[in-house]
A and B are shown apart, each in its own frame.
Chain A
Amino acid sequence: MDPFQNFRGVIAPLDRSNIDTDQIIPKQFLKSVKRTGFGESLFFDWRYLADSNPDPDFVLCHDPFQHAEILVVGNNFGCGSSREHAVWAVLQFGFKCVIAPARGNGHDRVPGFADIFSNNSVKNGLLTIELSEAEVNSIFETVAGSPGAEASVDLASQTVTIHGTSDRVLSFEIDGASKETLLKGLDEIALTLQSEAEIAAFEQNHETYLP
């Protein structure tokens, strides 16, 4: 995996909550045995009309969003199926980062991203950023007022800078393990294979109940 590079890119807004992985990449595209070729099918049912032409009402079908690199969405993005194809489709469209809001506190907290989608993202170099609802709403407002607005993402300093008449710098949290994996582009399997001695020792004393 390539290390995550800081970048500046166009923001595409898609203000819906609970966008499930069936919407991100519908079932018929999961029949591929490859890891590539999913970008064109991202959000397929929303993006294309019955006659297979792009739906002009869908945000990613027109300039300047066709070349967007930052996707901003509602909370609980990527819920549902564990299909990693969803992450591949987001990346292969050209996105390098997805931003979603967390809402509420304590037991009522609704996260920006579903668990399995977040895990899959890190393993493929896609950065998922959780911001507050107010911050994400402000990004939606910026883009509504100025389509094509850009932002700069800096993973090391954990900031997103929204560019406009005056730049706004927003900070985000990320766990240390995910940050390191992304920054170094780590191959997690190679890393775990360094624990071969520990795994072998564990297996010596572990019952798996296989007849």
Chain B
Amino acid sequence: MAQTLFEKIWNRHVVQEFDDGTTLLYVDRHLVHEVTSPQAFEGLRLTGRLARKPELTFATMDHNVPTTADRGTILDPVSKAQMDALSTNCEEFGVQLYGLGHDRQGIVHIIGPELGITLPGLTMVCGDSHTSTHGAFGTLAFGIGTSEVEHVLATQTLRQKKPQTFRVTFTGSLSEGATAKDMVLKLIGTIGVAGGTGYVIEYAGDAIRDLSMEGRMTVCNMTIEAGARAGMIAPDEKTFDFIAQIDRPFAPKGEALERAVANWQTLPTEDGAEFHRELEVDASQIAPQVTWGTNPGMVTDVTGKIPDPQDVPGCNPNDVQKALEYMGLEVGKAITDLSVDTVFIGSCTNARMEDLRRAAKVLDGRKVSDSVRLLVVPGSADIRREAEDEGLDKIFTGAGGEWRFAGCSMCLGMNPDQLKPRERCASTSNRNFEGRQGKGGRTHLVSPEMAAAAAIEGHFVDIRDWMKE
């Protein structure tokens, strides 16, 4: 029977199937960061267990790290204790750590692919919901809780119920001004924040094939915001070219790579394979998206208006009312009339070279509005160097923005980069939840070019208008 990409990878990793319907699944790669791992290592210690295959686990520090030049000194003692705990745990259990100060440090979902840890056909997990990012390589990758982190460390497996499959086909081509971010926001707005629950989503279609690896990572990254733990894209020549680049220490090389590629070419979903659910989206009709509410499904075209709570399909009017109150928004106001105080370009969703290049293109030769603070935070130390080699840092600082060091930064306020109460932010991150970027902060999710344009004008603009000029 014809198989899907997901089924092929799942079947290759079944260690044991149990009568209760669960499967013991082998885990090929385990990523770890400082926030969701300390209790897992402590659990091993308390039970006298060892890490079974420490060479398959890789750690970094990203959530707590400051992004300013003086970040070698961590002022918050609680953050410092958590980072120190990761260093101690990695040393004790034999896990490789890309900590603060390491020249390959970065956001966990950005350094995985950069280091060649992320490869097609593998299973990959991390105590972080945005692990779905790695599915862009044709990897089965999903977020887990801390108990499962401990389970993976101890056994290199996970006990799982097999999810169902859902194919989303983006037909046609994106129009100018629309990006991978807009594709995934449009999808979440269409199926809702729980629309993917219980499924693994495979993305297909011409508009997906046309995306760079960076764009594919953006789409897979936000799959969890639709409730699906994993998003996947079949590997192709773009995937193999990305992996073959020279600075990927954990990727196969030479003949080993050729053998691997031959294997990976057998992964794509076969003609006639069946999915539990299918959806087609016409990519050519996707406009730049802006979220207005307090979850990523509360989203509209940039040409849209703040909706009436009674008129939001799939949402409880009371929930919409609460969201509008939190966001400080009036019904009927045009999105382009919303002014912003802060613009954040960064996060595991949009802090890769392509994202920075797109933002820089908009900012080049322009000035950030006097009323706006612009933060540009590269996803990794590698990206920071590459951007500086291209002179992008000069464009950001020349426009009046701040150019920072790698970390999760303002995507979630676990480090010094935070919004103040009632501050409104155009953000390239992934979650507009209440308080996510700082207590009382108001987040609008957008693409890097939309964020850059908002920084210049001090309010949202339809980036497509600038492209006509």
Take A22-B436, A198-B15, A209-B122 as given contacts and tell me if A30 and B35 are in contact as well, using a CB distance cutoff of 8 Å.
yes
Take A115-B227, A195-B15 as given contacts and tell me if A82 and B194 are in contact as well, using a CB distance cutoff of 8 Å.
no
> In the complex, are the beta carbons of A74 and B319 less than 8 A apart?
yes
**Residues B207-240 near A (CB distance < 8 A):** 224-225, 227, 229
**Residues A173-202 near B (CB distance < 8 A):** 175-177, 180, 188-189, 191-193, 195, 198-199, 202
Q: Which candidate, A13-21, A89-97, A141-149, is the interface stretch facing chain B?
A: A13-21
Q: Judge if A159 is at the interface, Cβ distance under 8 Å.
A: no
Q: Judge if B24 is at the interface, Cβ distance under 8 Å.
A: yes
Residue with the greatest number of chain B CB neighbours at <10 A, chosen from A33, A193, A207: A33
**Residues B235-259 near A (CB distance < 8 A):** 249-253, 256
Question: Smallest CB–CB gap between A150 and chain B, Å?
Answer: 26
Question: Inside 8 A of A16's CB, which chain B residues have their CB?
Answer: 318-319, 322
Question: Smallest CB–CB gap between B322 and chain A, Å?
Answer: 7
Take A31-B79, A84-B145, A124-B147 as given contacts and tell me if A199 and B157 are in contact as well, using a CB distance cutoff of 8 Å.
yes
Which residues in B have some Cβ–Cβ distance to A below 8 Å? 12, 15-16, 18, 20-22, 24, 26, 28-29, 35-36, 38-39, 42, 47, 49, 52, 55-56, 63-64, 76, 78-79, 81-82, 85, 119, 122, 127-129, 143-148, 150-151, 154-157, 159, 161, 192-195, 197-198, 224-225, 227, 229, 249-253, 256, 260, 263, 277, 295, 297, 314-316, 318-319, 322, 412-414, 431, 433-436, 439
Question: Inside 8 A of A189's CB, which chain B residues have their CB?
Answer: 47, 49, 150-151, 154-155
Question: Whose C-beta in chain B lies nearest to the C-beta of A177?
Answer: B20
Q: Judge if A123 is at the interface, Cβ distance under 8 Å.
A: yes
Q: Judge if A110 is at the interface, Cβ distance under 8 Å.
A: yes
Question: Inside 8 A of A28's CB, which chain B residues have their CB?
Answer: 413-414
**Residues A42-56 near B (CB distance < 8 A):** 45
Question: Inside 8 A of B195's CB, which chain A residues have their CB?
Answer: 110
> In the complex, are the beta carbons of A82 and B56 less than 8 A apart?
no
Question: Inside 8 A of A9's CB, which chain B residues have their CB?
Answer: none
Take A110-B194, A199-B157 as given contacts and tell me if A120 and B147 are in contact as well, using a CB distance cutoff of 8 Å.
yes
Q: Judge if A208 is at the interface, Cβ distance under 8 Å.
A: yes
Q: What are 19 A-B contacts with C-beta separation under 8 Å?
A: A18-B295, A20-B431, A28-B414, A31-B78, A45-B434, A76-B197, A80-B433, A81-B129, A81-B412, A84-B145, A84-B146, A84-B147, A114-B194, A119-B144, A175-B20, A189-B47, A195-B16, A199-B155, A211-B250
Which residues in A have some Cβ–Cβ distance to B below 8 Å? 15-18, 20, 22-23, 26-28, 30-35, 45, 74-76, 79-85, 87, 107, 110-111, 114-116, 119-120, 123-124, 175-177, 180, 188-189, 191-193, 195, 198-199, 202-203, 206-211
Q: Which of A20, A80, A83, A202 contacts B15 (CB 8 A)?
A: A202
| Bound Cα distance A115, B253 (Å) | 37
Q: Which of A33, A87, A111, A119 contacts B81 (CB 8 A)?
A: A33
> In the complex, are the beta carbons of B155 and A192 less than 8 A apart?
yes
| Bound Cα distance A209, B367 (Å) | 47
> In the complex, are the beta carbons of A209 and B198 less than 8 A apart?
no
By Cβ-Cβ distance, the 8 closest A-B pairs, closest first, are A33-B38, A120-B145, A84-B145, A123-B147, A177-B20, A76-B194, A82-B143, A84-B146
| Bound Cα distance A149, B370 (Å) | 56
Q: A22-B436, A207-B263, A209-B252 are in contact. List 10 more A-B contacts (CB 8 A).
A: A33-B42, A34-B39, A80-B433, A115-B197, A177-B21, A199-B156, A202-B15, A208-B122, A209-B251, A211-B250
> In the complex, are the beta carbons of A176 and B122 less than 8 A apart?
no
> In the complex, are the beta carbons of A195 and B24 less than 8 A apart?
yes
> In the complex, are the beta carbons of A45 and B439 less than 8 A apart?
yes
Question: Inside 8 A of A116's CB, which chain B residues have their CB?
Answer: 129, 143-145, 229
> In the complex, are the beta carbons of B161 and A177 less than 8 A apart?
yes
Residue with the greatest number of chain B CB neighbours at <10 A, chosen from A83, A198, A208: A208
